[in-house]
Amino acid sequence: MTIQQKKQRLSTVLATILFGIMTFGVLMSPNWFRQFDIFFQQLIQHRGTFTTLFFTYITQAGNMTAIIVVSVIVSIFLAYKHCYRELLFLSVNIIFSAGIITQVLKHMITRVRPQPQLIQESGYSFPSGHSMAAILLYGSLIILINYHLKPSLFKTASVIVLTSLIIIIPISRVYVNVHYPSDILAGLSLGYVLLFISKYFIFDLKSATGVLHDSHK
């Protein structure tokens, strides 16, 4: 096992623990957990005309329409290039992880969203679907870019933009007050775990056994 793989596994374990802590906090609602949410809500929700316009706009990059459009475009490209393992990787992360798992957890935990909201959102709050979708979609794209593109300015710029979306979209959900900070951390941590589980089984495990996709030669 390489040092990179060890770091990846450690970070996945830590993310799993973080998700567990957030879930415990929502279910048991201890005082420290409520204070945690209040502190970061007050920290993020310093509103002005520009920031409200910016976060109201950027939060749309994590909604269902944006996720579907980007996923379809990337899927068509991958199918055209005969990158079927990559297509499977993206499909598992978007349909199963960001779609099914998110909704199952929301309906199991049934946390009510904060009020009042800057933009109208329905459904339950925990975990944040936008945060999970952001890290699963844009994180998948980062992994695919790292697999297939050689070092270049375009590659670096692409990774920076995608990473920025993974960070800014969750923050925007707290800013517009449709999620608590703990919803965001839960969505990001669980999304991270699911992302690297799918990466392990679809890419790393097969690579370790010597079964390599032609596109990775």
User: Quick one: how far is CA 41 from the chain centroid?
Assistant: 20
User: Quick one: how far is CA 208 from the chain centroid?
Assistant: 26
Rounded Cα–Cα distance for residues 112 and 214 (Å): 47
The verdict on whether 213 is a catalytic residue reads no
Dihedral angle computed from the Cα positions of residues 129, 175, 186 and 103, in that order, rounded to the nearest 10 degrees: -20
The one catalytic residue in 46, 82, 107, 179 is: 179
What is the per-residue burial (b if ≥16 Cβ within 10 Å, else e) of 23-61?
bebbeeeeeebeebbeebbeebeeeeeeeeeebeebbeb
Look up residue 140 and give its two tokens.
Answer: 């998948």
The one catalytic residue in 46, 82, 107, 130 is: 130
- Give the number of C-alpha atoms closer than 13 A to the C-alpha of residue 63, restricted to the C-beta side: 13
The verdict on whether 179 is a catalytic residue reads yes
Active site residues: 130, 179
